[in-house]
């Protein structure tokens, strides 16, 4: 999650048996990314030694859009770290597939349409992350029920549901639909280990589904953003530009990020349709425990 998931959140998830992911662009420099990966690997090794249980793998998310100037350097850093799993997003995974597969890394690709899914499969990915209409940040448009079944008609590999995962019951529903895994993002923003500002976490607790606005005004892509954060930034959510420019280079450039007028992601915040399920700010471990209880209850028909 851009500017939200950092080492504390990722390692807490992995220690609790859940794959912890973060965009490599959350690091201001390639050197910082190298430090993050090394530190998280050390933390997870200590946890395994202390508990006798192997943690879940951590999973860097490579933004592969052509406007990302750091993709090659981030890829090289991820390969040096020997990670087991990588997500590719905002573009075709094809340019990074060979080095990742040569290193024995599993590759999951974010896809928002059947056409995107077909192209990702042709490039050789191991899994598809289906961005449905309920996903926060840069999202998809498709209904999750229709999207999963359409993809399952030609793909028997790993399918991950992304969007609207409000609790363990939603994860059980995704599994019944034919998914192997599920993304949960919004509720993890509102955890104690998250890098999100306290004001962001409070806004998530106070918001509901109707406060999520689908817009192209900020990135040029369909993006779910929080209406209250748009208003707090001095903009009218109902009178935004039709389409903004995609400029990922600006988003990940440290000097630009710190400028007062650099608003998107820093001051205008995203959320998925599951925001109605955010009621407090627990620890990551507490959230995962709750979610597991909800999942097991759903599977048992309780």
| Mean pLDDT of the region 294-302 | 91
Q: How many domains, in total, are found in the chain?
A: 2
Cα–Cα distance for residue pair 87/129, rounded to 1 Å: 9
Residues 95 and 244 in one domain: no
At residue 26's C-alpha, the angle toward residues 167 and 221, to 5°, is 70
Residue 232 forms part of a structural domain = yes
pLDDT greater than 90 at residue 109: yes
Residues 40 and 96 in one domain: yes
Residues 131 and 183 in one domain: yes
Cα–Cα distance for residue pair 154/156, rounded to 1 Å: 7
Check: CB of residue 195 under 8 Å from CB of residue 6.
yes
Residues 160 and 260 in one domain: no
Residues 138 and 102 in one domain: yes
Residues 175 and 224 in one domain: no
Residues 125 and 263 in one domain: no
Identify the helix (H) or strand (E) that includes residue 212: strand 212-215
The CATH number of residue 152's host domain is 3.20.20.70
**Each residue of 7-21: pLDDT tens digit?**
999 999 999 999 999
Residue 181 forms part of a structural domain = yes
Residues 25 and 129 in one domain: yes
Cα–Cα distance for residue pair 114/117, rounded to 1 Å: 5
Cα–Cα distance for residue pair 270/136, rounded to 1 Å: 6
Residues 222 and 167 in one domain: no
Residues 114 and 69 in one domain: yes
Residue 1 forms part of a structural domain = no
Classify burial at 276, counting beta carbons within 10 Å of its beta carbon; exposed 0-12, middle 13-18, buried 19 or more: middle
**Each residue of 242-284: pLDDT tens digit?**
766 544 445 444 444 444 443 555 678 999 999 999 999 999 9
Residues 102 and 134 in one domain: yes
Supply the range of the domain harboring residue 212.
Answer: 198-273
**Each residue of 169-201: pLDDT tens digit?**
999 999 999 999 999 999 999 999 999 999 999
Residue 2 forms part of a structural domain = no
């Amino acid at each position: 999650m851009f500017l939200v998931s950092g080492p504390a959140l990722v390692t807490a998830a992995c220690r609790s048996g859940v794959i912890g992911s973060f965009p490599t662009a959350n690091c201001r420099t390639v050197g910082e990314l190298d430090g993050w990966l090394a530190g998280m690997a050390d933390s997870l090794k200590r946890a395994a030694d202390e508990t006798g249980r192997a943690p879940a793998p951590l999973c860097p998310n490579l933004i592969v859009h052509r406007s990302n100037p750091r993709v090659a350097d981030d890829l090289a850093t991820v390969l040096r770290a020997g990670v087991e799993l990588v997500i590719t997003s905002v573009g075709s995974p094809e340019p990074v597939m060979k080095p990742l597969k040569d290193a024995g890394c599993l590759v999951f690709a974010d896809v928002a349409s059947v056409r995107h899914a077909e192209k990702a499969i042709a490039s050789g990915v191991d899994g598809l992350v289906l961005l449905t209409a309920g996903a926060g940040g840069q999202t998809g448009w498709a209904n999750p029920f229709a999207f999963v079944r359409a993809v399952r008609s030609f793909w028997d590999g790993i399918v991950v549901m992304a969007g609207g995962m409000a609790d363990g019951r939603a994860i059980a529903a995704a599994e019944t639909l034919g998914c192997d895994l599920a993304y949960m993002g919004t509720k993890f923003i509102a955890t104690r280990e998250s890098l999100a500002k306290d004001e962001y976490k409070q806004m998530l607790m106070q918001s509901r589904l109707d406060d999520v606005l689908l817009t192209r005004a900020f990135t040029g892509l369909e993006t779910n953003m929080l209406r209250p954060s748009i208003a707090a930034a001095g903009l009218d959510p109902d009178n935004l530009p039709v389409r903004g420019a995609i400029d990922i280079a600006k988003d990940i450039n440290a000097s630009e990020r710190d400028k007062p007028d650099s608003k998107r992601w820093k001051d205008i915040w995203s959320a998925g349709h599951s925001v109605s399920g955010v009621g407090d700010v627990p620890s990551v471990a507490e959230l995962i425990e709750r979610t597991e209880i909800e999942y097991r209850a759903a599977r048992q028909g309780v």
